Structure 1
């Protein structure tokens, strides 16, 4: 299923566009991550999981998944995130911290302890809309995003 082979090139020698791109974060809930992404204008659908919120990239063209990983890792200062991309039957994984790409990871090891929802999203057998508790950053106004973040901060203080 997953391997560490580089993304196969398209007909013109460039890497093929990802079919699915996920940014796995340790953020406890999808709401705060979606609100943060909305503030940064990163178009994602965020789903909850047992390992943290998973941002499913909406834009898969060109370097958009990398740009999403950069933005999300900058927003979550000091907290590593993992970008998983599936393209042409291959899965790649890379670690990101503070907007900088770290080491490439063995995708098989990343997926070995992954929750079922992550695998289902990566394989395309589930869409974010089918996951209970999913929240989209698309269409969230700045005001609504700020209210969601404030509510999350209040809940965490209790």
Structure 2
């Protein structure tokens, strides 16, 4: 029986939950003072190392702290950019963290008893993607979606105009030309938005 806590620089539990869901890391997210951690149970040191390495890649230049209790021993280490940088004395690490960290490791408190906990199983991949989307990225997605709808409608107008125009209707050909122009413009706008150009 072992308990693993990975303490991260993420300040908002939802952000860490989303990052873990998208990285296929299962556990319970808990607030730890100004930080947020994920608690894994029955994983062992090796699985804890893998989880900490994966999360440290998401944390950018910031360190994450791995704490693994198996039997009566606690292993602690700092991770950055996907690699373990250094071992840390467990007592020193715990002294600088809120008491809830040690309580979780010693299993006197379960992760589910910590206020504000989020089981990763409660968040879908779609919800996780939405939680990690910045306002700027969300605006780009909305703009791209709008132009995609315009392109689809223009394609339908073009198809309708060509179909009716083949029967000899001159107005239908004008409609087809307008549809083609709008379709071309909307496809250009979509490419501009997706490549980071102006919306």
TM-score normalized by structure 2?
0.64
Match of 1:52 in 2: 35
The reply to whether residue 125 of structure 1 matches residue 108 of structure 2 is yes
Q: Distance in 2 between matches of 1:119 and 1:25?
A: 16
The offset of 1:30, in angstroms, is 1.1
The offset of 1:98, in angstroms, is 0.7
Deviation string 1:108-150 (CA, Å, 9 cap, x unpaired) is 1111122011111111111111111101222422111112223
Aligned length: 135
The reply to whether residue 90 of structure 1 matches residue 107 of structure 2 is no
Structure 2 unaligned residues grouped into runs of 5+: 136-199
The reply to whether residue 144 of structure 1 matches residue 127 of structure 2 is yes
SS at match of 1:77: coil
Q: Distance in 1 between matches of 2:4 and 2:73?
A: 12
TM-score normalized by structure 1?
0.79
Match of 1:12 in 2: none
The offset of 1:102, in angstroms, is 0.8
Match of 1:5 in 2: none
Distance 1:59 1:87, change over 3 A: closer
Distance 1:50 1:138, change over 3 A: same
**Largest Rg, 1 or 2:** 2
The reply to whether residue 76 of structure 1 matches residue 95 of structure 2 is no
Q: Distance in 2 between matches of 1:148 and 1:59?
A: 28
Q: Distance in 2 between matches of 1:77 and 1:59?
A: 27
Give RMSD over aligned pairs. Answer: 1.6
Structure 1 unaligned residues grouped into runs of 5+: 1-17
Aligned partners of 1:45 and 1:58 also within 8 Å: no
More helix by share: 2
Q: Distance in 1 between matches of 2:106 and 2:127?
A: 32
The offset of 1:58, in angstroms, is 4.0
Q: Distance in 2 between matches of 1:103 and 1:113?
A: 17
